[in-house]
């Protein structure tokens, strides 16, 4: 499936309207009865899953079968401390089983009907939730591909035009026949459509030639751009404004939140903190998911601001095998399969350390303003032409590097006042990147 996400404004508007309509429909239905799902998410989801897995508290799948009675459940949710104090044996056992942690006291925040709705929703296991099990198979979400729509419109226009031609032709033939009848001539048999077209073309050779030539030019131009775009996943829509490949990821990790400027609500984490290979290796490296745990042991789901972040943090826990109840890495680990965004072909050798450490390049040069991206997007074409152009214009970071001292002197002699670019020291030779 095509994973580009070029959207035109029109269809975006349509999607928004459609979504609004759907939500409206659901909101209206929400007035009719307590919405177990919505309530669960807002009140319970931070500590409970709707499956059988333990978060802070037990997973609530099949809860109605476990508790002594619905009344007991209501009493527990209203005030579990009171229930335990009353000497209820099951309440005490639950308390002990989950490490002596007190559940939030909801008191009168929830009515009995609401509690029933929540439990009914959770009991059946909720909706199939992405608690992580789908991680390994998570694929790029389908983005609406609008190139098909354009084609559709063109086809409709063509059909309409052909229709008009057909109607006009029919009218013309009829008129001619009517005229012939009127003038008492015999009806001319109408030529079949194709022959008529041929006739017309024979009579209008110059027009045909002109049209053919224009069509040919269009095809050449279109074809040239199509060829240039093969395998290139970014497009410069305006000068310095790129739109490119941005597949969805198994964990909706937002660089904007993590690496974004503090002033813009981000956390200002340095790129190298996670992509630590950049100084030492040819690959910057996608960080091991354990690196997330350096912070997310502390910034747990309970601290997460939104439902979405809770879900995403749960995915980290699932991947690392972290048990939030016991606070240990005691569960099985599940590696995360990311969708690679910046892809170079196999026959290209690219070294991050060469560019970052020796060449003193900024990450943004090739990766764009990742700090402001919610989903990572390829914002540079990463084609050979693009690389070469950069090598032709970028000066070599020679200052203070002992490797270049002698070479620098030689180059200064040869190139006088010119800036010494990467290409002047052999930076566009084949075997620098291909071997």
Partner 1 sequence: MANETKYWKGIAQLNDEKFVEKHQSEFAEYIPVEEFIGDSAKMESSSTNRRDFLKFLGFSTVAATLAACETPVMKTMPYVQRPEEIIPGVANWYASTFFDGHDYASVLVKTREGRPIKIEANPLSKITGDGKRGGLNARVQSSVLSLYDSTRLQGAKMKNGSAWVSKSWQDADAALGPKFAQSKGIAIISSTIASPSTKAAIAEFAAKYKNVRHVTYDAISYSGILKANNSTFGSAFIPTYNFDKADVIVSLGCDFLVNWLSPVEHARQYGLTRKVGTDKKAMSKHYQFESILSVTGSNADERFPVKPSQLGAVALGILSGLGGSASASAAVMTKEVGKVVDALKNAKGKALVVSGSNDPAIQVVVNEINRTLGSYGTTINTDIKDLTHQGDDSAFKKAVDDFGTAIDTVIFYNTNPVYSAPGALKFADAMKKLSLRVSFASHTDETASACDWILPDHHYLEAWNDYYPRTRQFSLQQPAIRPLFDTRHAQESFLTWAGNNSDYHSYIQKMWKMNAPVMDFTSYWNNSVRDGVVDMPMAVVVDKQDANPKPAAKPAADSTANVNAQTPPPNAMLDAVAFTGGTLSLSDAASQINAIKGGTYELSIYQKTSMGSGNQSQNPWLQEMPDPITKITWDNYVTMNPSDVQALKLFGVEDDILVRFDELEDALDIVEVTANGVKTKLPVWFQPGQTKGTIGIAVGYGRTGFNEVIDAVGKNIYPSVGWNEAGGTMEYNVYNVSVAATGDEQHEIASTQVHGTIMGRNEDLLRETTLTNYSKDERAGNPKPTMETYAGEKDVEDVNLWNSFERPNHKWALAIDLNSCIGCGACVVSCNAENNVAVVGKDQVRRSREMHWIRIDRYYSSDTVKEVEEDKGDMGTKEMYRKMESPTFDNPKVVFQPLMCQHCNHAPCETVCPVLATNHSSEGLNQMVYNRCVGTRYCANNCPFKVRRFNWFNYVEYDKFKDINPAQDLLGRMVLNPDVVVRSRGVMEKCSMCVQRIQAGKLDAKKASRRPIDGEIQTACSQSCPTNAIIFGDLNDDKSEVSAWYNSGRKFEMLEELGVRPSVFYLTKVWNREDENAHV
Q: What is the DSSP string of 120-171?
A: HHHHTT-S---SSTTGGG--PPPPP-THHHHHHHHHHHHHHHHHHHHHHHHH
Nearer to partner 1, 106 or 350 (CB): 350
Structure tokens at 113: 């009907």
Interface with partner 1 by CB under 8 A: which range of 41-49, 111-119, 190-198, 422-430?
422-430
- Nearest Cα to 104, choosing from 59, 48, 63? 48
The least CB distance from residue 59 to partner 1, in Å, is 23
Q: Which of 62, 212, 231, 268 binds partner 1 (CB under 8 A)?
A: 231
Q: Which of 127, 239, 406, 417 binds partner 1 (CB under 8 A)?
A: 406
On whether the CB atoms of residues 48 and 122 are closer than 8 A, the answer is: yes
Q: Which of residues 248-287 bind partner 1 (CB under 8 A)?
A: 276-277, 280-283, 285-287
On whether the CB atoms of residues 261 and 369 are closer than 8 A, the answer is: no
Q: What angle do CA 355, 358, 362 make, to 5 degrees?
A: 45
The least CB distance from residue 163 to partner 1, in Å, is 31
Interface with partner 1 by CB under 8 A: which range of 62-70, 170-178, 191-199, 335-343?
335-343
Structure tokens at 427: 């930076």
The least CB distance from residue 292 to partner 1, in Å, is 10
Q: Which of 369, 407, 420, 421 binds partner 1 (CB under 8 A)?
A: 407
Q: Which of 334, 369, 394, 421 binds partner 1 (CB under 8 A)?
A: 334
- Nearest Cα to 56, choosing from 4, 94, 8, 18? 94
On whether the CB atoms of residues 252 and 375 are closer than 8 A, the answer is: yes
Work out whether 353 is an interface residue with partner 1 (CB under 8 A). yes
Q: What is the DSSP string of 272-316?
A: HHH-GGGGTSS---PPPHHHHHHHHTTS-GGG-SSHHHHHHHHHH
Work out whether 435 is an interface residue with partner 1 (CB under 8 A). yes
Q: Which of 143, 331, 411, 420 binds partner 1 (CB under 8 A)?
A: 411
The least CB distance from residue 242 to partner 1, in Å, is 17
Work out whether 429 is an interface residue with partner 1 (CB under 8 A). yes
Q: How many CA atoms lie within 13 A of 118 on its CB side?
A: 21
Interface with partner 1 by CB under 8 A: which range of 15-23, 161-169, 212-220, 329-337?
329-337
Residue 373's CB is within 10 A of a number of other CB atoms, namely 18
Which residues, in sequence order, are bridge partners of residue 235?
243
In angstroms, the first-to-last Cα distance of the chain is 32
The least CB distance from residue 434 to partner 1, in Å, is 5
Decide: helix, strand or coil at residue 238: strand
Work out whether 402 is an interface residue with partner 1 (CB under 8 A). yes
Work out whether 140 is an interface residue with partner 1 (CB under 8 A). yes
The least CB distance from residue 260 to partner 1, in Å, is 22
In the complex, the residues that contact partner 1 under the rule CB under 8 A are: 2-3, 139-140, 230-231, 233, 247, 276-277, 280-283, 285-290, 319-321, 333-340, 343, 345-347, 349, 351, 353-354, 357-358, 400-404, 406-407, 410-411, 414, 425-426, 429-432, 434-435
């Amino acid at each position: 499936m095509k994973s580009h996400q070029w959207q035109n404004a029109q269809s975006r508007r349509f999607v928004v309207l459609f979504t609004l309509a759907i939500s409206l429909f659901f909101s209206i239905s929400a007035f009719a009865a307590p919405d177990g799902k919505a309530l669960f998410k807002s009140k319970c989801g931070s500590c409970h899953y709707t499956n059988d897995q333990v978060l802070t508290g037990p997973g609530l799948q099949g809860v109605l079968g476990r508790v002594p009675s619905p009344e007991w459940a209501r009493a527990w949710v209203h005030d579990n401390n009171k229930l335990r104090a009353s000497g209820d044996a099951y309440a005490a056992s639950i308390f002990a089983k989950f490490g002596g942690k007190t559940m939030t006291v909801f008191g009168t925040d929830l009515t009995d009907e609401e509690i029933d709705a929540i439990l009914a929703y959770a009991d059946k296991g909720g909706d199939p939730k992405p608690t992580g099990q789908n991680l390994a198979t998570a694929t790029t979400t389908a983005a609406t591909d609008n190139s098909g729509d354009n084609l559709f419109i063109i086809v409709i226009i063509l059909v309409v035009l052909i229709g008009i031609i057909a109607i006009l032709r029919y009218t013309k033939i009829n008129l001619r026949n009517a005229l012939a009848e009127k003038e008492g001539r015999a009806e001319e048999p109408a030529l079949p459509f194709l022959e008529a077209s041929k006739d017309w073309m024979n009579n209008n050779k110059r027009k045909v030639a002109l049209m053919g030539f224009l069509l040919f030019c269009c095809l050449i131009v279109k074809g040239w751009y199509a060829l240039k775009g093969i395998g290139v996943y970014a497009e410069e829509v305006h000068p310095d404004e790129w739109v490119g490949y941005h597949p969805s990821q198994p964990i909706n990790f937002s660089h904007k939140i993590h690496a974004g400027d503090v002033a813009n609500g981000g956390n200002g984490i340095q790129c190298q903190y996670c992509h630590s290979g950049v100084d030492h290796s040819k690959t910057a490296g996608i960080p091991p998911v354990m690196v997330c745990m350096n912070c997310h042991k502390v910034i747990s789901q309970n601290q997460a601001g939104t439902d979405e972040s809770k879900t995403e943090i749960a995915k980290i826990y699932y991947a690392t095998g972290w048990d939030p109840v016991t606070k240990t890495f005691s569960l099985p680990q599940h590696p995360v399969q990311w969708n690679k965004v910046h892809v170079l072909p196999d026959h290209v050798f690219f070294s991050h350390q060469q560019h970052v450490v020796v060449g003193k390049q900024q990450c943004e040069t090739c990766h764009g303003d990742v700090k402001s991206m919610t989903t990572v997007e390829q914002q540079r074409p990463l084609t050979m032409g693009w690389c070469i152009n950069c090598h032709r214009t970028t000066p070599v970071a020679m200052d203070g590097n002992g490797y270049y001292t002698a070479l620098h002197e030689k180059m200064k002699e040869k190139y006088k006042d010119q800036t010494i670019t990467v290409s002047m020291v052999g930076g566009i030779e084949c075997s620098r990147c291909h071997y």
